[in-house]
Structure 1
Amino acid sequence: MTNTHSAAKLVGPVIRGFDPALAEAVMAAVERDNPDLPVTIDDQGGYVRIHTPGRCVLTRATLEDELGYTYPITQLEQALASFSGRVLTSDDSIEWYLERTN
């Protein structure tokens, strides 16, 4: 985890701070799902920015593993205050990106 990052364009979720366990699980899952990217965490109390440069993936399997229970990834939308970049969702993952690679 990186607390600061260069001027690279960052993408990813901004999680509302009302559920600290969910925010912690998303942070850990993003780090696991993006092992080759530095993860920037900005905890402002009321919200937590979780960003990576260029592309950020969050999978349902990793999030559920971090939470310890079944969690429909589409339900995460309710906890999002915002996000940076464009977003692509499915039943199994959410991807934030600047430009499509495929």
Structure 2
Amino acid sequence: MFVRIVKMRFQEDKIETFLENFEEVKNHIRNFEGNRLLELYQDKNDPRIFFTYSYWENESDLENYRKSELFGEVWKFTKALFSDKPEAWSVDKLVSLV
């Protein structure tokens, strides 16, 4: 399992716009080939900060998504709302206790 974590900080007056757009695109992202999970988190101390966690079968699935028209549209829309440069991590899932 391959996990992509993205931290995004939004302009305060753009948070609702982001959330509305995420609601529209979340199922398309989740149903993209190779995606196994999509989660959105909001920081408890700074409501401008959000994290997405997406689980992928392998790195090539994420790369295919990143090269897709869907990603191009979503990212273009989303990055215009940022107040700071996003950060991203690609990690391998080693242990999960449920």
Give TM-score scaled by structure 1 length.
0.42
* Higher RCO (CA-CA < 8 Å; seq separation 6+): 2
Scaled by the length of structure 2, the TM-score of the pair is 0.43
**Higher relative helix content:** 2
Bigger Cα Rg:
2
Structure ranking higher in strand proportion: 1
